[in-house]
Amino acid sequence: MGLVSRDDGWRMPEWLWERIEPLLPPRPAHPLGCHNPRVPDRDALDAILLVLRTGMQWNALNATGICSSSSAHRRFQEWEQAGVFHEIWRQGLLDYDQVVGIDWAWLAADGALGKAPLGGPKTGPNPTDRAKRGRNVRFSARRKGSRSGWRTTAPTATTRSS
C-alpha cells in the first residue's frame, strides 16, 4: 500500500466522475487477449489530476499508491490523443457560461514582448548565438592565466587576444 490510504482532498468527487466517465474512450483490446488487469479509469484519472495539480513528477506517483506512474502516463497520453481533456475543458466552459455567464464579445489575452529591462549596450552580443564576438565564459582566462591558474593553450573562436 502506498502513502495515500484515504480521501485526502485530491480525489475526484463522485458527481464529477459521473460526468467525466462517459467521455472516456472504450478500453482497447489487448492483441494477445491475455493481459494484467488494467488500472481502473478513476484511479488513473485521480493520479493524472494529482500530477497536473501539484506539478509533481510522474515517477513520484509510485509512492502514492494510487497507481503506477507508467500506467498513469500511458493513460494520460491515450486520453490526450483521444481529445478527452479538450472535451472536459469545453464542457466546463459551457457549464460556467450557463451558471455565471461568459461575455464572449469581450475577451482579452495577456502578454508582453519587449527588451529586457536591465539589458542594453553594456550587455554586448551573446556568445552562444555564433556571432563570433563576445566572451565565452568557459575560456575566459586572462592573458597570463585565470584566477585558478589554468591557462589557455590556444585562442578559441570567441576569445580575442589583445
Residues 6+ apart with CB under 8 A from 39: 67, 68, 71, 72, 75
For 83-105, what is each residue's pLDDT tens digit?
999 999 999 999 999 999 888 78
pLDDT at res. 87:
96
Q: Bigger pLDDT: 129 or 73?
A: 73
Q: Where are the alpha helices (DSSP H) in the chain?
A: 14-20, 41-54, 69-82, 84-99
C-alpha cell at 131: 556571432
Mean pLDDT of the chain: 78
Q: What pLDDT, on the 0 to 100 scale, is given for residue 65?
A: 86
pTM of the model: 0.59
Of residues 42 and 8, the one with the higher pLDDT is 42
Q: What is the pLDDT of residues 135-144, one digit of tens each?
A: 555 555 555 5
Question: What is the pLDDT, as a whole number, of residue 96?
Answer: 93
**For residue 1, pLDDT beyond 50:** no
